Amino acid sequence: MTDKNMLLAVFSDLDPAAHAVEKLRELGLGDEHLNVISGIPITEAMMGRPHQWTNVPRLALGGALGGFLLGAYLAFVTPTTYPLNVGGQPVIPGPPSVVVLFELTMLGMLISTFVGVFLDSRFPSYTPKEYVPEISDGRIAILIECDPAQEVAIESAMTALGAESVKHAEAQTL
């Protein structure tokens, strides 16, 4: 048996849930022991939690650079490798080269952003997850990992702050 218990506190509104996060910090729980589950997008600032860092912007920049280099190769190297002289036109045409550079830069950024978000969200996940049916009804839940000795204090604090229910959470396969 594990030495940590998982409690699930369900709140009907954002304000009591934000106060509950503050109260849990006062009780000595760090942010790594808390997980806010919501069916609506909630920013970290709304809950008073630290900003989550991601690698997606760096991956997007790398993809844009790769797309730009591929576009530069297609726009400048290919015409000089296989020159096609057409009635007074330059071998490397200006406006079409700009279009090729732009489109391949955007395509590289789009593909790398999609792959970055896909990998950053750890999708697909085959491990059991905590599922709370009340979340689909617009409620906000806080999943709390705590020691068994803290369980009673946390349960009473969450109830005092307006939690609709505080119960043991169990990971289950969806």
How much of the chain, in percent, has pLDDT values that exceed 90? Answer: 24
Residue 131 has pLDDT above 70, yes or no: no
Determine the pLDDT at residue 101.
Answer: 96
Determine the pLDDT at residue 73.
Answer: 96
Residue 68 or 45, more confident: 68
Residue 76 has pLDDT above 60, yes or no: yes
Radius of gyration of the chain (CA): 26
CB atoms within 10 A of CB 172: 9
Which pTM value belongs to this model? Answer: 0.61
Residue 171 has pLDDT above 80, yes or no: no
Residues 29-46: tens digit of each pLDDT: 887 888 888 877 777 777
For the structural domain made of 5-52+128-168, what CATH number should be given? 3.30.70.120
Residue 155 or 171, more confident: 155
- Return the H-helix or E-strand segment holding 18: helix 14-26
Residue 11 has pLDDT above 50, yes or no: yes
Question: What is the average per-residue pLDDT within 61-88?
Answer: 91
Q: Where in the chain is the domain with CATH 3.30.70.120?
A: 5-52+128-168
